[in-house]
Amino acid sequence: MNSAHSANSAVDRIADTFQLLTLPGVETLGAIYAPDARFKDPFNDVQGVAEIQRIFRHMYASLDNPRFVVTGRIVQGEQCFLTWEFHFAFKNFQRGKAQRILGGSHLVLDGEGRITLHRDYWDAAEELYEKLPVVGGLMRWLKRRGGSS
């Protein structure tokens, strides 16, 4: 990328893609990811567009109405950090109850404005495990025992 303008344009395109993503749209993620891009989050560490698409297809298979809302962004050169809210409902329990995870993504872009590294940061214990039956009670107990209420 040659300028801050093109980096901001690429980040706008990426943010729009995530916010408007649908199950059929998963097949078009190659437009925003470089072919050998790496994706890492608390549960996955994969490389390549096909593997990244597999993760997003699994998200749609496992959750009801998953969607991202980008709430902020910092762009510096070929890197950016997006803050986001992930809204969804579980399919297997608490059906229909709205859930929300807060997180952030560090993205590194190539010269064409495609993602080469996508690293998600969010607290799986607080944002997910505490919402699950059985595991949630254990996580809340551990949190209290650790003194980090």
d(CA 70, CA 84): 4
Closest CA to 105 of 122, 82, 125, 126: 82
Does residue 140 fall inside a structural domain?
Answer: no
48: Cα separation from own chain's centroid = 16
d(CA 141, CA 20): 37
- Domain that includes residue 20, residue range: 4-122
Does residue 29 fall inside a structural domain?
Answer: yes
Backbone dihedral angles phi then psi of residue 93, each to the nearest 5 degrees? -155, 160
Does residue 141 fall inside a structural domain?
Answer: no
- Tell me the CATH number at 53: 3.10.450.50
146: Cα separation from own chain's centroid = 28
Whether the per-residue pLDDT at 139 is higher than 50: the answer is no
The answer to whether 115 and 37 are in contact (CB under 8 A) is: yes
Whether the per-residue pLDDT at 148 is higher than 90: the answer is no
Q: 83-122, pLDDT tens digit by residue? A: 999 999 988 777 788 999 999 999 999 999 999 999 999 8
What is the number of structural domains in the chain? Answer: 1
The pTM of the full predicted model, rounded to 2 decimals, is 0.82
Whether the per-residue pLDDT at 134 is higher than 60: the answer is no
